[in-house]
Each structure stands twice: as C-alpha cells, then as structure tokens.
Copies of this chain bind each other. A is one copy, B any other.
C-alpha cells in the first residue's frame, strides 16, 4: 500500500467515529478506482486494520465483500491483492456491460422523472467541465455517478444490481488499460446524446447510444495481447508497492 494513501486514510479516521466493514470497502474501492492502489497491490489484513483502527475481523469482512465485487483477489492462505483483470476479461466485461446497460437504458427510455433527468444532466455537465479544466479525478467521479444513477433507476432492480457491478469492473479495467499517452477517456457529447434519447423515450436509440459509448471507450484502451503487461507483471512478481 502506498504511504500517501495510508496517511490520508488515518487522518480521515481520526475525524469520524467507528468504521464498519462497509466503510473500509468503500474507501478501498474508491482508491482502486482512482488508481491510488494499482493492481497487484498487497492488502495485508493487519496493515489495513491499523490504518482504519479496527481489528482483522472487520478488515476480513471488508475484503470478502470486495472479493465478491471482483475488486480484490482473495485466495486461501495468501494476502489479498488488488485484482488485475486480464485483457480477455476486459473485453468480456465490456461485452457484458453493453448487453446489460443497453437493456437498462432501453427500459428506462421515456420513464425518467424530470428530477432524475436533471440530476443526470448535472452529472454530464460537471463531467464536461471537469474535463475542460483538466481535473481527471473529478471527471471520473461524475461519469461514474451518471452511470450509477442509471443503474439505480433501472425499473428492473436485478438488472440494476448487475449493472452497478459491471460499471465498477469496467472502471477498474479502464484505469488499468488506458493508453499511456491519453490524459482522459472523455468522449465529448456522448452522454448528452444518450440523455436526449432517454428524454425522448427512444428505447432503441438509447441502446445504440450506450453501445457506441462503450465501444468508443473500449477502443481508447490498449488491449494489444502481445505486450501482455499484466501477465508479465504477475509472472515477474513485480508488486507495485508493499505495505
């Protein structure tokens, strides 16, 4: 674990009251999303416990939760690590998300209340503004909020839950495989177009918009199998940062 993140967490802890396993999971998940904890990072139970001021029991539950979300790799008798999905899994995650999110927005088209539509627009605008001023963390945050809102609003809650999971997994692999040159994966206007179709009640157009959006996002990644960055890393045992 990185020392910067370490101290940041401890500071936050002092302020608040007790921390639950959910709190820990939230913080770790967020750190992974923000690339503060790169894939392969070890997450020893005692260390995490010290960071958050709780015992291993609570940490273990948090790690188990994160493992069920595919954020962390938890194998028997081994320290948990931030997961590093393969290139193949990345493609499959995108395919799955296209299927599920496409269906969700198709179901959602024309059914959104004015309030939620406004909330979605706010996130889209904030995202675009964050992009313009070069604030990538904020940009990611707002993009995530937008898709998370869509998942929450899904008339089909089961599909909504699956979508929440897929949005998380997609974000992780985007952070992992983003072309090194690229500063951001922002695609101008795509969210706005989706929102228009949703407001107009055009189910199939909404589905297409999401498909295009996700295909575009995937195409911004470096998924060339030759390099096999991850495999090399794990094979060579190069662990980004230890506790």
A contact residues vs B (CB 8 Å cutoff): 60-61, 64-65, 68, 89, 92-93, 95-96, 99-100, 103, 156-159, 162, 166, 169
A76 CB to closest chain B CB (Å) equals: 8
Q: Are B156 and A96 in contact (CB under 8 A)?
A: yes
Interface majority SS on A: helix, strand, loop or mixed?
A: helix
- Across the interface, name the chain B residue whose C-beta is closest to A107: B95
Q: Which residues of B contact A103 (CB under 8 A)?
A: 99
Q: Bound state CA distance, A196 and B80, in angstroms? A: 44
Contacting residue for A65 out of B68, B99, B166, CB 8 A: B68
Oligomeric state, in copies: 2
Flag if A89 contacts B162 (CB, 8 Å). Answer: no
In contact, A95 and B162 (Cβ under 8 angstroms): no
Pairwise interchain contact A92-B162, C-beta atoms closer than 8 A: no
Closest chain B CB from A211 CB (angstroms): 14
A92 touches B61 (CB 8 A): no
Q: Which residues of B contact A92 (CB under 8 A)?
A: 156-159
Q: What are 12 A-B pairs at a CB distance below 8 A?
A: A64-B64, A64-B65, A89-B157, A92-B156, A93-B158, A95-B158, A96-B156, A96-B158, A99-B100, A99-B159, A100-B100, A158-B166
17 extra A-B contacts, CB within 8 A, seeds A95-B156, A96-B156, A96-B159: A61-B64, A64-B65, A89-B157, A92-B156, A92-B157, A92-B158, A93-B158, A95-B159, A96-B158, A96-B162, A99-B99, A99-B100, A99-B103, A99-B159, A158-B166, A158-B169, A162-B162
